[in-house]
A and B are shown apart, each in its own frame.
Chain A
């Protein structure tokens, strides 16, 4: 069918903030969808609350609304824009749920708005466990024995019938939130309770566990003419039992015979036909390794993380074509954009192996449960391609940036055999590395298979890798051995370790011996048709297909996998840098390893190399492409960390020089520079042992901020208030030494300010200044940032502009920089300078209309800021108030303490914008998923040092009619000033205790400030976790609490009695 002409405008719903289970893949899908609809001539209106995305750029849609994805706000936009249709299947679960909510509210019917793509009843049928099961029954497709339950009694009944283990899958949640595998009564009760809580319809599926089956996925597409194809099938290395988002996945399937492949293909297509999917869909199946028996696990009737992976794995742009199907085009009417010569109605053939490994946040959250199960915990993922499995998996390992170059643990000698067995039996994030150790210790693959149920095919491949270590070690500098080692993916670093030399030495040896990779094209068709897609991966083969062009080129390094602290905002900056390079007339080449992102869409750059961001892999490409330079400042810490190694190999770093980067990042040199420039910073010194640290702290005065000067597995910053705390920190949290000193700084309480600036060497442009709601001490990424600042005097603004300008010039910044300041006792101090793009770049760019990454890139390439037509100094302040509110994924991570501190914990962010701070904050909180009630109860339990401030807050809460619940101590302080509070018992006291209140939903807000000592056993931790598990907002900063209070105050009228007339 030709495209529909009866609709003119389409509203696309985005996926909101990045959370675990819903990440950058939807920026990729949404961007593709919007562009592809625009390409067909439709007027596209986009709504998404996430500012850190390419899709919310004003070029991507005709109208972009960065507003909360809530019924209230989306309805308002629908009324205003009156689109003919909405497209909800490209915005993840959030988009789908939003569409369902809109439909239920009746507004779609009222405004005659059609839902494009897969119809809602089909979505319902796929997502509602009951409907889905009956459909499968009708189609004669087997599903594991299961039952829908609505309460714990029903769960017990099911288990009594079927037995353990069983899997709990809450209905309508993303990333399996609240679900898990239960092996006993205790687990059953815990997981069912949490599952019911997280399901918006209080419904869970209990299912017989088929753990150990092969987990196979099919990414399928169907159009309205019933053409249906498989884009890609994928096999999980980890068998059923681990969420596919947390599994190591390969594409295509490796252990399936043609019969098995097509049996599962047939059933996948049968299901999407029966459902009537129009667009993309993901089908997950479990296959018995010992028979043709299979079960259907689930169907996602929308584009997903897996479809992003499948798109990058095959080159086939699923979201783009799904959007076109939604407006009526058929698969056999559309060209395959990769070949440009063949049609989209075909099934990609791969001639390489793809491996995906998830990236987990356990380096940041050491206390988190590292076990993997049906609830996804990864924040991101990496993908790698090779001509064999070993190469793909080892490239993926070194793409992770977790310090692993190989399938080995960092300190293997410390591991007992028992521990290794345990960590292989019970899957966790490091299983792959434990596997390597086990093989190295001579454990047979049969034994490991028994422990893990991982297919012998994969175990054999891991064994090939481990076995070859000995060969390498026995024959250093043997050309044939080295060639083979490189063919099966060994990193230079691994070879160097075995040869007792440096990776640079291995690199040089190889280059001389001509052992260098070639680049093969990802063309969807295994070379059957000529393609011109500039999408390449490296491998050790004969023929190179990546031909250097005549044009001068610039390489941009991407930011690798999404992780806490390095999110989608760096991909945003990377993409803008690429565009700017192209605008400046150069060929833009990108290197990245993250399949979820816009930057790894082959249509973005002139050339895309899907490769690990390690010095070896990057240098190979530089050797081939001979670019005029490399841009490192947009790829977060990933790219910056490569700068010195690149320069050591004679590569030109474009923008801020390596020396200047070092000056900003090295503590001593930075201090020196500040001294020269004449800008104050908080007092501080480096300590190499406990005694030093204590002496420094006593000299500069507590509280002090302590942090290691080097990065070590997430050991982090802390604010300490007393000597014994400092001693505890020095003894337990860090290993200080002369090589690895610890920084001890005066902790200044005050307003924290964040400034981003662009410098071309002479001129400095400051797009905006942001004020943080939370006082210094909370990581800037976890703070609410406000633009423009609401409480700064002109004097301070002038100082900030002056300091920023002087820092940019003095530190010889060329490109972007980000500075954190604190204003304490009327004095501005600089805390930190980051000589690179920061996480606030997209936020500020969108507010101020200064495309910062673009301007910075052009400045790097030699065009002055003035020549580009942008202002120097502080840019004119924009109308309105804009807030950036962080979003956390604590519900997915068990045992993680939610207290905000100097270490970042948020996974994403939303933007709220309106005419006043309160309105903007309201939108921000709503967009972040918080429910703001105009009445209710607030539970307060605060530490002694915060009591005074808390009293003021409590008074304001009571003034607007909130009741206060408090623990005896806090209640006593409140009573002393005449504020009534209902006393609740501490944990372990007589009920109702704090926990009862939280569990029973009797508090709308919890305010809990930390008492010192970080032992998770403490009550505070229980309170905070209990709040997370029960979906109650728990505020650990009084500043955040105050902000919410302001919003509620602005929403309500006061309830104060009339002053009584005095009786005479």
Chain B
């Protein structure tokens, strides 16, 4: 196998073997601690522009299958693992990660001390990195200088959002799903509940959204900094108070910003399938799937009409808010799971219920 390197902006170099595409790639290097679910992870559009390292060392064990994609075209910039399986074993497996990455032009590097990389990110925060082309003779100093000077693109949402609206029909509640980089899981959960969904681009206006006469609006997850999507914030401002809204991840952050709150960048984010979140109303804690690098500043909520409903048990960061007046609730984590635990799956039911209640009120 050909060697290749992962070079970080702090000058650290990891040498390993190439898999997937031979091409080089730049991105923000982040880690995720989920032990299963690499297929969902590498196809999660929220990772757009990022080089992802999996902390679990054996990746690709059960191969790639047709069912578990979260998007059609993965948006990650690279994949860093300790060991990539050459001979997967699972009844659904249709190929290896390597084959898939080759087809999609995504570079991967294996043989890396991913724990060392993770500890570095934990201490120093997320860093920019470069995955060299397979077999490339790298001038480390040059790469580091370039990385330090590079401003990573901020239009990730634009990159991964649908270009035009499309329906995913059902016979139940009419939901407009604003796609900021939607995981298929969200659509699947709505369809499972028989929703009649229309997926619209991230820059759809409030008017365009309301033109579908929705019973409710779903704000999807998505990549990057919520402040990079001001048009969405504007749209949401125009939607609050019209119909029930449920937001997930970036959708949650955008809603909070639209309500006057502020966001900040976490040192190294929350990425994994084992994050405890406490529901302040019930006092119960659920294990959730998370993938976010930004969070809502709790102090900034004071001047808004929002209240905190959920917090991360470990660092106390905001994991969910609700509008005190209007039927809107949003969470920072992923109730659609895939990958990860399905503990908060009931939130989709609550959304349906909220739409039912709201429809009832309307009729009165």
Q: Out of A230, A343, A545, name the residue touching B276 (CB < 8 Å).
A: A343
B68 interfacial contact with A, CB 8 Å = yes
Which A residues are in CB contact (< 8 Å) with B273?
A: 347, 349
Q: Out of A259, A289, A520, name the residue touching B115 (CB < 8 Å).
A: A520
Asked whether B55 lies within 8 Å of A527 as measured between CB atoms, the reply is yes
Asked whether A388 lies within 8 Å of B33 as measured between CB atoms, the reply is no
Asked whether B114 lies within 8 Å of A343 as measured between CB atoms, the reply is no
Which B residues are in CB contact (< 8 Å) with A291?
A: 91
Asked whether B118 lies within 8 Å of A457 as measured between CB atoms, the reply is no
Q: Out of A258, A342, A457, A543, name the residue touching B340 (CB < 8 Å).
A: A258
Q: Out of A342, A347, A541, name the residue touching B314 (CB < 8 Å).
A: A342
A sample of 18 more A-B contacts (CB under 8 A), given A389-B58, A527-B55, is A225-B284, A229-B287, A230-B287, A252-B56, A254-B58, A255-B89, A257-B36, A257-B37, A342-B314, A343-B276, A345-B287, A349-B33, A349-B34, A349-B56, A353-B58, A457-B88, A528-B31, A528-B33
Which B residues are in CB contact (< 8 Å) with A312?
A: none
Contact with A along B245-266 (1 / 0, CB 8 A): 0000000000000000000000
Asked whether B89 lies within 8 Å of A456 as measured between CB atoms, the reply is yes
Which B residues are in CB contact (< 8 Å) with A939?
A: none
B 50-80 contacts with A by CB, 8 A? 55-58, 61-62, 65, 67-68
Residue of A nearest to B63 (CB): A257
A433 interfacial contact with B, CB 8 Å = no
Which B residues are in CB contact (< 8 Å) with A498?
A: none
Asked whether B274 lies within 8 Å of A348 as measured between CB atoms, the reply is yes
Ranked 8 nearest A-B pairs via Cβ: A258-B37, A457-B89, A543-B116, A526-B55, A347-B274, A349-B33, A542-B113, A332-B285
Asked whether A252 lies within 8 Å of B275 as measured between CB atoms, the reply is no
Interface locus among A260-268, A549-557, A605-613: A260-268
Measured between alpha carbons, how far is A456 from B62 in the docked complex, in Å?
11
Asked whether B274 lies within 8 Å of A349 as measured between CB atoms, the reply is yes
A530 interfacial contact with B, CB 8 Å = yes
Closest chain B CB from A276 CB (angstroms)? 15
Q: Out of A254, A259, A527, A543, name the residue touching B68 (CB < 8 Å).
A: A259
A841 interfacial contact with B, CB 8 Å = no
Residue of A nearest to B119 (CB): A527
Residue of B nearest to A457 (CB): B89
B 204-226 contacts with A by CB, 8 A? none
A371 interfacial contact with B, CB 8 Å = no
Closest chain A CB from B189 CB (angstroms)? 14
A455 interfacial contact with B, CB 8 Å = yes
Asked whether A289 lies within 8 Å of B278 as measured between CB atoms, the reply is no
Given A256-B36, A350-B35, A525-B33, A262 contacting B340 (CB threshold 8 A): yes
Measured between alpha carbons, how far is A227 from B55 in the docked complex, in Å?
26
24 contacts between A and B (CB under 8 A): A225-B283, A254-B58, A255-B61, A257-B90, A258-B40, A332-B313, A342-B314, A345-B287, A349-B273, A349-B274, A350-B35, A351-B114, A351-B115, A353-B58, A455-B89, A457-B88, A460-B89, A526-B33, A526-B55, A526-B56, A527-B55, A527-B122, A541-B116, A543-B115
Residue of B nearest to A332 (CB): B285
Asked whether A542 lies within 8 Å of B33 as measured between CB atoms, the reply is no
Asked whether B276 lies within 8 Å of A332 as measured between CB atoms, the reply is yes
A727 interfacial contact with B, CB 8 Å = no
Q: Out of B14, B58, B68, B276, name the residue touching A388 (CB < 8 Å).
A: B58
Measured between alpha carbons, how far is A226 from B339 in the docked complex, in Å?
23
Residue of A nearest to B67 (CB): A259
Which B residues are in CB contact (< 8 Å) with A858?
A: none
Contact with B along A41-68 (1 / 0, CB 8 A): 0000000000000000000000000000
Asked whether A349 lies within 8 Å of B313 as measured between CB atoms, the reply is no
Asked whether B55 lies within 8 Å of A347 as measured between CB atoms, the reply is no
Given A266-B342, A527-B122, A257 contacting B62 (CB threshold 8 A): yes
Measured between alpha carbons, how far is A295 from B319 in the docked complex, in Å?
35
Asked whether A346 lies within 8 Å of B342 as measured between CB atoms, the reply is no
Q: Out of A265, A346, A457, A526, name the residue touching B275 (CB < 8 Å).
A: A346
Asked whether B274 lies within 8 Å of A346 as measured between CB atoms, the reply is yes
| Interface, chain B (partner A; CB < 8 A) | 14, 31, 33-37, 39-40, 55-58, 61-62, 65, 67-68, 82-83, 85, 87-92, 113-116, 118-119, 122, 272-276, 278, 283-285, 287, 313-314, 337-342
A352 interfacial contact with B, CB 8 Å = yes
Which B residues are in CB contact (< 8 Å) with A331?
A: 285
Measured between alpha carbons, how far is A259 from B62 in the docked complex, in Å?
11
Given A332-B285, A457-B89, A526-B115, A351 contacting B55 (CB threshold 8 A): yes
Most buried by A among B82, B90, B275: B90
Asked whether B274 lies within 8 Å of A352 as measured between CB atoms, the reply is no
Given A258-B340, A261-B36, A343-B313, A353 contacting B115 (CB threshold 8 A): no
Closest chain A CB from B8 CB (angstroms)? 14
Measured between alpha carbons, how far is A353 from B83 in the docked complex, in Å?
12
Given A257-B36, A352-B57, A528 contacting B68 (CB threshold 8 A): no
Which A residues are in CB contact (< 8 Å) with B116?
A: 541-543
Residue of B nearest to A259 (CB): B68
Closest chain B CB from A259 CB (angstroms)? 7
Measured between alpha carbons, how far is A253 from B274 in the docked complex, in Å?
16
Which B residues are in CB contact (< 8 Å) with A542?
A: 14, 113, 116
A387 interfacial contact with B, CB 8 Å = yes
Asked whether B122 lies within 8 Å of A530 as measured between CB atoms, the reply is yes
Asked whether B274 lies within 8 Å of A351 as measured between CB atoms, the reply is no
A290 interfacial contact with B, CB 8 Å = yes
Asked whether B35 lies within 8 Å of A252 as measured between CB atoms, the reply is yes
Given A262-B341, A343-B314, A388-B82, A543 contacting B119 (CB threshold 8 A): yes
Q: Out of B65, B272, B283, name the residue touching A349 (CB < 8 Å).
A: B272
Which A residues are in CB contact (< 8 Å) with B272?
A: 349, 526, 528
Measured between alpha carbons, how far is A530 from B273 in the docked complex, in Å?
18
Given A347-B273, A351-B57, A388-B57, A227 contacting B284 (CB threshold 8 A): yes
Q: Out of A229, A254, A262, name the residue touching B61 (CB < 8 Å).
A: A254
Asked whether A543 lies within 8 Å of B113 as measured between CB atoms, the reply is yes
Closest chain B CB from A414 CB (angstroms)? 32
Closest chain A CB from B97 CB (angstroms)? 13
Measured between alpha carbons, how far is A542 from B115 in the docked complex, in Å?
9
Residue of A nearest to B85 (CB): A457
Measured between alpha carbons, how far is A229 from B274 in the docked complex, in Å?
9
Measured between alpha carbons, how far is A343 from B316 in the docked complex, in Å?
11
Measured between alpha carbons, how far is A257 from B61 in the docked complex, in Å?
8
Asked whether B339 lies within 8 Å of A227 as measured between CB atoms, the reply is no
Measured between alpha carbons, how far is A253 from B37 in the docked complex, in Å?
12
Closest chain A CB from B250 CB (angstroms)? 21
Which B residues are in CB contact (< 8 Å) with A351?
A: 33, 55-57, 114-115, 118
Measured between alpha carbons, how far is A389 from B57 in the docked complex, in Å?
10
Closest chain A CB from B41 CB (angstroms)? 9
Contact with B along A222-256 (1 / 0, CB 8 A): 00011101100000000000000000000011111
Closest chain A CB from B33 CB (angstroms)? 4
Residue of A nearest to B345 (CB): A266
Which B residues are in CB contact (< 8 Å) with A252?
A: 35-36, 56
Measured between alpha carbons, how far is A541 from B117 in the docked complex, in Å?
12
Measured between alpha carbons, how far is A225 from B283 in the docked complex, in Å?
8
